[in-house]
Structure formats: structure tokens, C-alpha cells
């Protein structure tokens, strides 16, 4: 099951994608990402990774997120590893919407125990988190001006 949320951001797709392409900005807007350790050179090219921590100290877990697909200014598709729950595919699409952008984020569990969680429970867990992530993304995009 996939969970999709969207948000209109009053900025061009180029400005939105500039934040998505800045791996060091992820802890600013991705709910749960708390510390960026390394951003692979060339990010967000396909195959590059973000090496980050998730959770609060002292219970932080070291994880990584891999770029699966990228179309400059339009699409970033990632595989997030969330041990011990498995991995998820996250697709972020950026569409021109008048003088701003419509950002659509779709997430689905791919591997591990999260794949057996009932769809309604996944939706109840992911929807608020991903809405908050897009709200934070909008704040970063708009404040960077």
C-alpha cells in the first residue's frame, strides 16, 4: 500500500528541487532524520546515498537513504532504510502549479516487518509524518528565498 500526501509551495520547482538536491538539508525537513553524517559526492545522482541518523540521542540509529531515480527539477525517488522495520520507497514529485509548485510525496513499505502492517495503520502513521515533512520542506524553501 502507498500513502500519498501533497502540498502547494509558493516557490518555483527549481527552488524546491534545490532543497531536495541539498543532502545536508534533510534533517531540516525530514521528520525523524536527526543527524547527517555523510552525503555522497554527486548527490542526488542515481546510486548516491545520504548517511544519516534517525531518532533521539542516545537511541539514534545509523541508516542510509539511496537515490533510485532522479529527474532534475521534477522527481526524486529514494529507498529509505529504517532498521529494524525494513525499507521504504519514497517518491517526491515536483510539479509547476501556477506561480508555485505542487509537491507530491508517495511512500510505501518495500521490505521487512512494515510490509505486513495493515494499510489503514500505515496510512494513520505515515500521513501525519509526511504532511509535517512537506510543511518543513516548504518552510526551508521559502526561508532560503
**CB neighbours of 127 closer than 8 A, spacing ≥ 6?**
3, 5
- Report how far residue 110's alpha carbon sits from residue 90's, in angstroms, rounded to the nearest whole number: 10
For residue 37, the Cα-to-chain-centroid distance in whole angstroms is 17
pLDDT in tens, 29-79: 999 888 899 999 999 999 999 998 887 778 778 889 999 999 999 999 999
What's this model's pTM, rounded to 2 decimal places? 0.92
Domains and CATH numbers, the chain: 2-144 (3.30.530.20)
Burial of 1 (0-12, 13-18, 19+ CB in 10 A): middle
pLDDT in tens, 80-90: 986 667 889 99
Amino acid at each position: 500500500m502507498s500513502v500519498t500526501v501533497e502540498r502547494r509551495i509558493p516557490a518555483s520547482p527549481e527552488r524546491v528541487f534545490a532543497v531536495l538536491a541539498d543532502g545536508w538539508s534533510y534533517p531540516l525537513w525530514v521528520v525523524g532524520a536527526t543527524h547527517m553524517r555523510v552525503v555522497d559526492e554527486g548527490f542526488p545522482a542515481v546510486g548516491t546515498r545520504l548517511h544519516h541518523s534517525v531518532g533521539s540521542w542516545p537511541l539514534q540509529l545509523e541508516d542510509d537513504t539511496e537515490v533510485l531515480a532522479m529527474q532534475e527539477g521534477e522527481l526524486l525517488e529514494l529507498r529509505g532504510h529504517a532498521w529494524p522495520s525494513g525499507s521504504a520507497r519514497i517518491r517526491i514529485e515536483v510539479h509547476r502549479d501556477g506561480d508555485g509548485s505542487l509537491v507530491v510525496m508517495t511512500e510505501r513499505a518495500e521490505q521487512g516487518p512494515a510490509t505486513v502492517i495493515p494499510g489503514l495503520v500505515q496510512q494513520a502513521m505515515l500521513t501525519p509524518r509526511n504532511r509535517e515533512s512537506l510543511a518543513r520542506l516548504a518552510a526551508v524553501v521559502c526561508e532560503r528565498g
